[in-house]
Chain A
Amino acid sequence: MLRKSKYLFPVLCILLLVVVITAIALGAVSITLDDMFKAINNWIHHKEPGNIYQAVFLQIRLPRILLCMITGAILAVSGVLMQGLFRNPIVEPGLLGTSAGAAFGASLVFVLSGSMNKNLVHFTGPLLVPIFAFAGGLLATAVVYTLSKGTSRVAVTTLLLIGIAVNAVGLSGTGFMSYIARDPQARSITFWNLGTFSGATWLQVWITGSVAAFVFILSLRYAKQLNTLVLGEDEAQYAGVDTEKLKRRIMILNTAMVSVATAFVGVISFMGLIIPHVMRLLVGSDHKKLIPASMIAGAILLTLADMGARLLLAPAEVPIGIITSLVGAPIFVILLKRTHILYSKGGGND
Chain B
Amino acid sequence: MIEVQHVSFAVNKKILVNEVSLFVEPGEFVVIMGPNGAGKSTLLKMMSGALLPTKGKILLKGKDLATYKTDQLAKQRAVLSQHYEISFPLSAREIVMMGRYPYFNSFPRAEDEAIVTNRMERMQVNDLADRSYQTLSGGEAQKVQMSRVLAQIGDTSENEQKLLLLDEPVSHLDVKYQHQLLAVAKECCKKQVAVIAVLHDINLAIKYADRILFMKQASVIKNLAKHEPLTSELLESIFDIKCRIINLPEGGKFVVF
Contacts and interface: CB of A to CB of B under 8 A. Distances in A.
Interface string A300-331: 00000000000000000000000000000000
Interface in B69-105: 69-75, 78-79, 81, 84-91, 94-95, 98-99, 101-102
Given A238-B48, A238-B50, A280-B89, 6 more contacts: A84-B88, A231-B86, A239-B101, A240-B70, A284-B91, A286-B90
Contacts of B180: none
Contact of A87 (B70, B87, B90): B87
B166 to A, nearest CB: 12
A88 B87 contact: yes
B94 A284 contact: yes
- Interface size, B (range): 20 to 34
B102 A239 contact: yes
Contact of B70 (A88, A230, A241): A241
Interface stretch (A12-20, A47-55, A257-265, A340-348): A340-348
A266 B56 CA distance: 55
14 contacts: A224-B101, A227-B94, A234-B50, A239-B74, A239-B98, A240-B72, A241-B71, A242-B70, A285-B88, A288-B106, A288-B107, A343-B134, A345-B134, A347-B135
Contacts of B75: 240
Contacts of A288: 106-107
A77 to B, nearest CB: 16
Interface of B: 48, 50, 69-75, 78-79, 81, 84-91, 94-95, 98-99, 101-102, 106-107, 132, 134-135, 152
A331 B229 CA distance: 67
A232 interface: yes
A255 to B, nearest CB: 22
Contacts of A228: 98, 101
Given A238-B74, A288-B106, A345-B134, A231 B98 contact: yes
A173 interface: no
Contact of B71 (A88, A89, A242): A242
Contacts of A284: 89-91, 94
A284 B81 CA distance: 25
The 10 tightest CB contacts between A and B, nearest first, are A240-B74, A87-B87, A285-B88, A240-B102, A240-B71, A238-B79, A242-B70, A342-B89, A285-B90, A345-B134
Given A237-B70, A240-B101, A231 B84 contact: yes
B131 to A, nearest CB: 12
Contact of B99 (A87, A239, A286): A239
A151 to B, nearest CB: 12
A241 B101 CA distance: 9
Contact of A232 (B85, B89, B90): B85
Given A242-B70, A345-B134, A230 B90 contact: yes
Contacts of A237: 50, 70
Nearest to A231: B84
Contacts of B50: 234, 237-238
B134 to A, nearest CB: 5
Contacts of A242: 69-71
Interface string A70-98: 00000000000001100111000000000
B98 A227 contact: yes
B74 to A, nearest CB: 3
Contacts of B132: 342
Nearest to B138: A346
B83 to A, nearest CB: 9
Contacts of A241: 70-71
Contacts of B73: 240
A84 B84 CA distance: 16
B91 A346 contact: no
Given A286-B94, A342-B132, A342-B134, A239 B89 contact: no
B125 to A, nearest CB: 16
B37 to A, nearest CB: 19
B102 A234 contact: no
A285 B89 contact: yes
Nearest to A238: B79
B84 A235 contact: yes
Contact of B134 (A83, A87, A346): A346
Nearest to B105: A224
A183 to B, nearest CB: 46
Contacts of A232: 81, 84-85
A239 B152 contact: yes
A76 B209 CA distance: 51
A128 to B, nearest CB: 41
B102 A345 contact: no
A239 B49 CA distance: 12
A126 to B, nearest CB: 40
A230 B79 CA distance: 16
A347 B132 CA distance: 12
B44 to A, nearest CB: 11
B88 A280 contact: yes
